[in-house]
A = this chain, B = another copy of it.
Amino acid sequence: MVETGELTAGSRLNENSLAARLGVSRGPIREACRGLEQGGLVTLIANRGFFIRELESREAAELYEIRGALYALAGRILAPKITVKQAAELQGYIDTMQGAVAENNLNVFYPTNLRFHEAIVQFSGNERLMSECVSIHREMHLFRRRTLDIPGRMSISNEEHRTILKWLVEHDADKAAAELEHHVLTSREVLFGPMGAYPKEGS
């Protein structure tokens, strides 16, 4: 519901409504919310209930840094062992995105871009890394302002994808990792400024 935008950040979760809506009682609802709480999607305020979490600029900036490090790790692991088939799949995504750039179609670019990065993490074989990345991606949905809709970003972004794939197929782990980290952190800097500097709320 958070991903579909049905539940907007900051809104309260009414346990009774949700229970009625899903046809169960409040117990399972609360259990599920406790899970989401640990996953960072909701926060619990005592005697007031569960609220869809609001991701402040500071926290979003922190998540970007972490995501960059994790993607870099994925690239570092994958580079020495990437197969031609895997490389071909990644190339396919790049081609799709190139088409999206041509017609300025963000609705194609965005999910393909996600899939591209997800594939790298998946190919790394580190399953925990994979679940960590999707968890972070979920949490990112709670941050309103997105990147990539800045003019020209799509094109630059896909150039970087090409570079990433190049280093991967050349089995250069360090270069691939560095480029992946750079790739993610570029978006971060466009939004928040240099690494290690965390914006106060409102910037």
Where the two chains meet, the residues of A that have a C-beta atom closer than 8 Å to any C-beta of B are 27, 30-32, 34-39, 59, 62-63, 65-66, 68-70, 72-73, 76-78, 80-81, 124-129, 132, 195-196, 198
Interface of A: prevailing SS: helix
Question: A67 to chain B: closest CB distance in Å?
Answer: 10
Asked whether, in the complex, the Cβ of B65 is within 8 Å of the Cβ of A129, the reply is yes
Asked whether, in the complex, the Cβ of A77 is within 8 Å of the Cβ of B35, the reply is no
In the complex formed, the residue of B with least CB distance to A27 is: B27
Question: A62 to chain B: closest CB distance in Å?
Answer: 4
Inter-chain CA distance A32–B35, complex, in Å, is 9
A sample of 12 more A-B contacts (CB under 8 A), given A69-B72, A77-B195, A78-B196, is: A34-B38, A59-B127, A65-B126, A65-B129, A66-B126, A66-B129, A66-B132, A68-B73, A69-B70, A76-B195, A125-B196, A126-B196
Listed by A's residue number, 28 A-B pairs whose Cβ atoms lie within 8 Å are A31-B31, A31-B34, A32-B34, A34-B34, A34-B38, A35-B35, A35-B38, A38-B38, A38-B39, A62-B126, A62-B127, A63-B128, A65-B73, A65-B77, A66-B73, A66-B128, A68-B73, A69-B69, A69-B70, A69-B72, A69-B73, A76-B195, A77-B196, A78-B196, A80-B196, A81-B196, A125-B198, A126-B196
